[in-house]
Amino acid sequence: MALTTANLVLEYVGKRAAGATPGINSPLTTTWNDNVGSNDATLYTGAGGYAGTVNSGWAGTGTAADPYRLVSDGTTDYCTLAAIPSPVATDHDFSIEMWTLIPGVVSQNTILFRHRVTSYYGFSFYVDAPTDEMSFSLGKGSTPYTFISCTQPAYSATPLHHVVTYNAAADILNFYRSATKMTADTSAAFSPETSGTPTLGGVTGSSGEGPSGICTLRVYSSCLSQTDITNNYDAGVLAASTDGIWTGITIIRDVHV
């Protein structure tokens, strides 16, 4: 199936971390390129940050079971985005899609993608502890976050696919896992965070989070349909919007003599 590219505003894929190639650890690739724009992510390499190893840096062999990915060891491994993705900077329809490889249970909430500076503003895509469920929270300004979970463990020996969609007009939030809708329509008004910097991985100074691996992150400025989500899931963890149109296609020539 073809990957959904309509309304795609941000895409990080491990196999194209450096633009045309995966990230490497020696020397450490410190920029994760945005495939569809200039919103590149910068790896933090200060105290406790990415060490340039397969446990704290780039990992994977490029197969579907072991895709290229950015791996955190649970200390202060995080990336900062160049800008706030447009749909989550305003109260707008959005979809956030992630392929992750979380190796085991976590003892503390483990951030995957987050933009939250002011209390009750912004969002957080994370692994919840102690349930170890993939979870998402959405800020509503002066009231506590709306919290939803896919109700399944976030850890697995192979990559997992999750999508969160937000319908701004209806104030409805939904969670999908492996192209299956996991939640009933959840009422959730959104108060976007307009200051600060979004992060992948733990926020500045955080520690004690569980190890995690992010293979792919996409942000759309629309509510993906069930068909869109299914197509992305079927395209698989190795898919990127920048793949050539002939990728994965075998051309058979009918030769007449």
Q: What is the pLDDT of residues 133-175, one digit of tens each?
A: 999 999 999 888 999 999 999 999 999 999 999 999 999 999 9
As a whole-number percent, the residues of the chain with pLDDT over 70 amount to 92
* CA neighbor of 10 nearest in space, from 81, 91, 60: 81
pTM of the model: 0.92
Q: What is the pLDDT of residues 181-215, one digit of tens each?
A: 999 999 999 999 999 999 998 765 566 677 899 99
Alpha-carbon span 248 to 46, nearest angstrom: 40
- Mention every residue, 6+ apart, whose C-beta is less than 8 A from residue 170: none
Q: 8-235, which class in CATH?
A: mainly beta
Alpha-carbon span 197 to 23, nearest angstrom: 22
- Mention every residue, 6+ apart, whose C-beta is less than 8 A from residue 244: none
Provide mean pLDDT across the span 49-59.
Answer: 96
CA distance between the termini of the chain: 35
Provide mean pLDDT across the span 213-218.
Answer: 97
Return left, alpha or beta for 44; rule: phi > 0 is left, psi -120 to 50 is alpha, else beta: beta
In the predicted structure, residue 250 carries a pLDDT above the cut 60: no
Q: How many CA atoms lie within 13 A of 111 on its CB side?
A: 23
pLDDT for res 205: 56
Residue with tokens 């104030």: 171
Residue with tokens 């051309």: 251
Provide the token pair at 50: 């990415």
Residue type, 38: S
Residue type, 111: I
Alpha-carbon span 2 to 212, nearest angstrom: 27
pLDDT for res 256: 41
Least confident of 30-34, 111-115, 228-232: 111-115
Peptide bond into 144 cis (omega under 30): no
Q: Are 225 and 165 in contact (CB under 8 A)?
A: no
Q: Are 175 and 183 in contact (CB under 8 A)?
A: yes
